[in-house]
A and B are shown apart, each in its own frame.
Chain A
Amino acid sequence: MDHLDKLENRSIYIFREAYSQFKDLCMLWSIGKDSTVLLWLARKAFFGHVPFPLVHIDTHFKIPEMIQHRDKLAMEWDLDMIYGTNFQALEEMQTFPDGNVSHLECCRLLKTEPLKVTIMGTAPRYRLNHSTGTYELDRNNVPFTGVIVGVRADEEGSRSKERYFSPRDTHNYWNISDQPPEFWNQYKTDFAPGTHVRIHPLLDWTELDVWEYILREKIPVVSLYFNHGDGKRYRSLGCGPCTFPVESDACTVEEIVEELKTGKFSNIAERSGRAQDKEDCGGLEELRKDGYM
């Protein structure tokens, strides 16, 4: 077993624990490289099937190519695709691009809030109809009690303290100072009514592991990650107005792996192109306590 095999098999084990222990399970798919690897691991774990819905929080500021990529794979891989959106904030123009709120407030309004209510089923969910290829209002509003998320411990400080199975209380709050113990492949799968558990199968993966795995498995990722001749590529993807590319000549997955191995970015945070991480010291941690991915 090599390093990627070990990571892959551990992640598969976590997926299967989640599927067996949570009746109302979903997975967040942001269309980025990490959650796309996560999706691939789900197909590995369940032998080509993805036996739970995928949830995407569409801020309507996502780079259009991401939405195209989402719907293409959803149709090809027969994915049960759901999205949720905070239409009210968009209508009232309570967004950063509209110039009315800060970065962090915009993240809270367009991501954290709709994520909460979509998981709880208290706001409309839109589900992909595979026969028409369009999204329809979903009748199912059962709260999800298990939510699989593709966060990695090496991304930033607060994520380095995450558990594989991380409980959120009835208000989605993450209590960092009182987390459940995890040892000997035993996780918190028993939970009180009204609470939900975030499940993190990618926790031990690094940015380089993710790219090496994409290379090994030939996983289709959105082409925004590659340089198309202008010497720039995205290293981390989010909303168009708040995500910036890095200088890079890497045009292929091989070249990205090489680039990361040479340590070109070893001194620059992966999420340095993401505005919400910078606004205030500890801003992302505050967002995450409140329910952000």
Chain B
Amino acid sequence: MGAESFDRELISNEEIADLNITEHMNIAITGHVDHGKSTILGRLLVDTDSLPIGKLEQVKETCQRNSKPFEYAFLLDSLKDEQSQGITIDSCRIFFKTAKRKYIIIDNPGHIEFLKNMVTGASRAEAALLVIDAAEGIKENTKRHSYLLSMLGIKQMAVLINKMDLVDYSQDVFNAIVQELCEFLEQFEQRPTIFIPVSGLNGDNIVKRSPHLSWYKGKTVLEQLDDFVIDKPPEDKPFRMPVQDVYKFTKHGDNRRIIAGMVESGTITVGERVVFYPSSKSSVVKSIEGFNAVPLTTVGPGWALGFTTEEQIYVKRGECAGLANEQHPIVGTRILAHIFWLGKAPLKKEKSYLLKIGTKKVKMSLAEIRFNMDASNLDHNTKNQVDRNEVAEVVLELDQPIAFDLPHEITQTSRFVIVDDFEITGGGIIVNAIANQVPLIEDQINRRITQWERSSIDIQQRFEKYGQKSVMLLMIGDDFSKKNIAKMVERQLFADGKFVYYLGIDTDGNKFETDTNISSISNDETRIQQLAEMASFLLDAGLILIATASGLTPEHLEILKIALSPEKIRTIWVGSERDTDIDVDMQFTSNDDIDEFVHKIEQLVITV
């Protein structure tokens, strides 16, 4: 290493452009405010000749005009806001290349005010540069950022000890900082890839070696960038794919029912048996679908996959696909997690939040705080809330089961975020499942239903005998007349010789949407479960069941579909203003004729 390697890498932009560079890498640069990130980046761009012609002169001229001394950092400040405040308010991307790779360097703000921007920027990177001012030494954000980098999963980190010119290029100062930081990082098993003494201002060890730092024999910043290793995708782990959506686009006779999602880990091959968690439904992969591409038979991490299944199964967004012959994810409703909190309002026990893991979104509450921690010194304390920019170990309780893995097994599916009042306000890693888990709703219902000995008369025989198919007509909407209409329909069908039964149920929809009291949520869900159980028997007996429900949510309908199978449910919206996310099969407004409506229903249930 030395002068030769520096010559090898310092190729002008034009020459580099001629080469076909296929490697790409994102690098995050972070550090305490004013420790000189932007100066280092400005230097890197100037010394590798990566700036557009005239840019340097233009910025120098602007500085002269405004009687400001020129700073390399100004090169990066393309936004007015930023210049006036003199700090990087948001992470921004800088494009630059070497003979080996194209880089996107994500410049992250060092001010604690903008920690959420730092998290955003750093999470996109494969490696990080942590900048420390040699004169000021290690500050709170140096530690906080390095802790967060580790939590975000960034394993490669080069520590740049900057402004060495201010400490007379002293090796002792450098060594002292190295030792102090190592002691801190050891506590959470983070080990930096390298420590480099630099001066952004003078360009020492950025691209060029420096005679002032002859005691340093290691790599320059530019050399280290090219030595970072590209992350390997987790191909050898069990297959995981959070279901993003299930598509059936019927246009132009397209009959495919495609289950789509991003593969997080492992691989999947046509013919393998997939299992969806938490529902435990399963089917065999029939085909991997694509558009304008050669059909694939095996797909691995990073692919936005779409596949069809042999048997049609009803799965939905939020489930996580795994393979039947591989290790299953854990399913639970109580988790132990390490979190970092970015919200302006603290994380509190009495409040309801949303937790998003993979594509699943569930209501969540804070059950317990094991400890709070100041990420800038790792000091533990106990409080009854988690404040902004704090880290904590907490127990979270979810109102629906989620599928997840532990970080040492599959990192990707152990990570979640917390949403408070429309904003992502925290991130976390599940470190353990907590026992005392509520059995899955599906399991609960199915277990209760199947514990009864059932009739030996086949449902088909009943259909033939009664001249009707059993179906649940679910009348929804906030129209007051709904119950009366339901009863009128019941009477008419009854008069026409149908076997029909009416059942009214009320869920308090508005309360469900806004009330933060979890118990009201459980009440609603319990009633829907009761309806599902009763309906399962009544439909099995061959009846037409008319049910009315207010405030029914798509989640409620899912529960019913799971217990009764989707084709046995018809949703009818009563009223003119349709105000629901639920897909409605039929609508009845005050202008409609009741006889015609009953006739339509009879067409639906008649067996020929």
Interface residues of chain A, those whose CB is within 8 Å of chain B, are 1-3, 5-6, 8-10, 12-13, 16-17, 19-20, 23, 43-49, 51, 78, 153-154, 156-158, 160-161, 163, 176-177, 179-188, 190-192, 204, 206, 217, 261-263, 266-269, 281-282, 285
Q: Which of B14, B92, B93, B120 contacts A181 (CB under 8 A)?
A: B120
**Pairwise interchain contact B52-A268, C-beta atoms closer than 8 A:** yes
Q: Which of B18, B260, B291 contacts A16 (CB under 8 A)?
A: B260
**Pairwise interchain contact A263-B249, C-beta atoms closer than 8 A:** no
Q: Which of A17, A180, A267 contacts B244 (CB under 8 A)?
A: A17
B91: CB under 8 A from chain A? yes
**Pairwise interchain contact A12-B14, C-beta atoms closer than 8 A:** no
- 18 CB contacts below 8 A, A to B, read A20-B317, A43-B291, A43-B292, A44-B293, A47-B247, A48-B254, A157-B79, A176-B79, A179-B120, A181-B424, A184-B417, A186-B356, A187-B424, A188-B424, A190-B422, A262-B17, A263-B18, A266-B13
**Pairwise interchain contact A190-B419, C-beta atoms closer than 8 A:** yes
B231: min CB distance to chain A, Å = 11
Query: Chain A residues with Cβ under 8 A from B249's Cβ?
Result: 46-49, 51
Q: Which of B89, B95, B415, B417 contacts A154 (CB under 8 A)?
A: B95
Query: Chain A residues with Cβ under 8 A from B291's Cβ?
Result: 43-44, 47-48
**Pairwise interchain contact B306-A47, C-beta atoms closer than 8 A:** yes
Query: Chain A residues with Cβ under 8 A from B54's Cβ?
Result: 267
**Pairwise interchain contact A182-B244, C-beta atoms closer than 8 A:** no
**Pairwise interchain contact B260-A9, C-beta atoms closer than 8 A:** no
State A101–B451 Cα separation when bound (angstroms).
78
Query: Chain B residues with Cβ under 8 A from A5's Cβ?
Result: 302-303
**Pairwise interchain contact B415-A184, C-beta atoms closer than 8 A:** yes
B145: min CB distance to chain A, Å = 14
Minimal Cβ-Cβ distance residue in A for B303: A9
Q: A47-B247, A161-B90, A179-B117 are in contact. Are A184 and B422 (CB under 8 A)?
A: no
Tell me the B373-422 residues at the A interface (CB within 8 Å). 412, 415, 417, 419, 422
Query: Chain B residues with Cβ under 8 A from A266's Cβ?
Result: 13-14, 17, 52
Query: Chain A residues with Cβ under 8 A from B13's Cβ?
Result: 263, 266-267
**Pairwise interchain contact A3-B424, C-beta atoms closer than 8 A:** no
B533: CB under 8 A from chain A? no
**Pairwise interchain contact B304-A9, C-beta atoms closer than 8 A:** yes
17 further A-B pairs in the complex, CB-CB below 8 A; given A44-B292, A261-B17, A263-B17 = A13-B244, A17-B244, A20-B359, A46-B249, A49-B251, A160-B94, A177-B81, A181-B342, A181-B424, A182-B120, A184-B123, A190-B354, A190-B423, A192-B422, A261-B18, A263-B13, A266-B13
Query: Chain B residues with Cβ under 8 A from A17's Cβ?
Result: 244
**Pairwise interchain contact A16-B78, C-beta atoms closer than 8 A:** no
Query: Chain B residues with Cβ under 8 A from A6's Cβ?
Result: 24, 302
Q: A9-B304, A45-B304 are in contact. Are A20 and B245 (CB under 8 A)?
A: yes
B119: CB under 8 A from chain A? yes
Query: Chain B residues with Cβ under 8 A from A281's Cβ?
Result: 80
**Pairwise interchain contact A183-B245, C-beta atoms closer than 8 A:** no
B262: CB under 8 A from chain A? yes
Residue of B22, B419, B424 contacting most chain A CB atoms (<10 Å): B424
State A261–B120 Cα separation when bound (angstroms).
30
Query: Chain A residues with Cβ under 8 A from B245's Cβ?
Result: 16, 19-20
**Pairwise interchain contact B417-A186, C-beta atoms closer than 8 A:** yes
State A9–B160 Cα separation when bound (angstroms).
34
Q: Which of A12, A16, A78, A158 contacts B251 (CB under 8 A)?
A: A78
Q: Which of B53, B304, B423 contacts A13 (CB under 8 A)?
A: B304
B560: min CB distance to chain A, Å = 21
**Pairwise interchain contact B18-A262, C-beta atoms closer than 8 A:** yes
Chain B interface, DSSP helix/strand/loop, else mixed: mixed
CB contacts between A and B, total, < 8 Å: 155
Q: Which 8 A-B pairs have the closest CB atoms?
A: A157-B78, A263-B17, A183-B123, A12-B304, A181-B116, A49-B249, A267-B53, A190-B422
Minimal Cβ-Cβ distance residue in A for B317: A20
State A8–B290 Cα separation when bound (angstroms).
12
**Pairwise interchain contact B89-A176, C-beta atoms closer than 8 A:** yes
Size range of the interface on B? 35 or more
Minimal Cβ-Cβ distance residue in A for B581: A23
Minimal Cβ-Cβ distance residue in A for B304: A12
State A13–B91 Cα separation when bound (angstroms).
22
**Pairwise interchain contact B427-A183, C-beta atoms closer than 8 A:** yes
**Pairwise interchain contact A20-B78, C-beta atoms closer than 8 A:** no
Minimal Cβ-Cβ distance residue in A for B115: A181
Tell me the B34-91 residues at the A interface (CB within 8 Å). 52-54, 78-81, 89-91
Query: Chain B residues with Cβ under 8 A from A156's Cβ?
Result: 78
Minimal Cβ-Cβ distance residue in B for A203: B93
State A12–B291 Cα separation when bound (angstroms).
12
B213: CB under 8 A from chain A? no
State A180–B116 Cα separation when bound (angstroms).
7
**Pairwise interchain contact B79-A161, C-beta atoms closer than 8 A:** yes
**Pairwise interchain contact B356-A49, C-beta atoms closer than 8 A:** no
A153: min CB distance to chain B, Å = 5
Query: Chain B residues with Cβ under 8 A from A285's Cβ?
Result: 79-80
State A78–B89 Cα separation when bound (angstroms).
43
Minimal Cβ-Cβ distance residue in B for A268: B52
Query: Chain B residues with Cβ under 8 A from A46's Cβ?
Result: 247, 249
Q: A48-B291, A184-B417 are in contact. Are A282 and B342 (CB under 8 A)?
A: no
B258: CB under 8 A from chain A? yes
B256: CB under 8 A from chain A? yes
State A266–B17 Cα separation when bound (angstroms).
9
Q: A20-B244, A176-B90, A181-B424 are in contact. Are A163 and B79 (CB under 8 A)?
A: no
A188: min CB distance to chain B, Å = 6
Residues 313-345 of chain B, each 1 if its beta carbon lies under 8 Å from chain A, else 0:
000010000000000000000000000001000
State A158–B80 Cα separation when bound (angstroms).
10
B591: CB under 8 A from chain A? no
Query: Chain A residues with Cβ under 8 A from B252's Cβ?
Result: 78
A190: min CB distance to chain B, Å = 4
Q: Which of B78, B104, B123, B247 contacts A158 (CB under 8 A)?
A: B78
Tell me the B112-143 residues at the A interface (CB within 8 Å). 116-117, 119-120, 123-124
**Pairwise interchain contact B90-A181, C-beta atoms closer than 8 A:** no
Query: Chain B residues with Cβ under 8 A from A282's Cβ?
Result: 79-80
State A266–B233 Cα separation when bound (angstroms).
32
Minimal Cβ-Cβ distance residue in A for B91: A161
State A5–B119 Cα separation when bound (angstroms).
25
Q: Which of B14, B251, B422 contacts A191 (CB under 8 A)?
A: B422
**Pairwise interchain contact B423-A206, C-beta atoms closer than 8 A:** no
**Pairwise interchain contact B117-A1, C-beta atoms closer than 8 A:** no
**Pairwise interchain contact A267-B417, C-beta atoms closer than 8 A:** no
State A10–B244 Cα separation when bound (angstroms).
13
A177: min CB distance to chain B, Å = 5
**Pairwise interchain contact B303-A1, C-beta atoms closer than 8 A:** yes
Query: Chain A residues with Cβ under 8 A from B244's Cβ?
Result: 13, 16-17, 20
A201: min CB distance to chain B, Å = 11
Query: Chain A residues with Cβ under 8 A from B52's Cβ?
Result: 266-269
Query: Chain A residues with Cβ under 8 A from B461's Cβ?
Result: none
Residue of B252, B256, B417 contacting most chain A CB atoms (<10 Å): B417
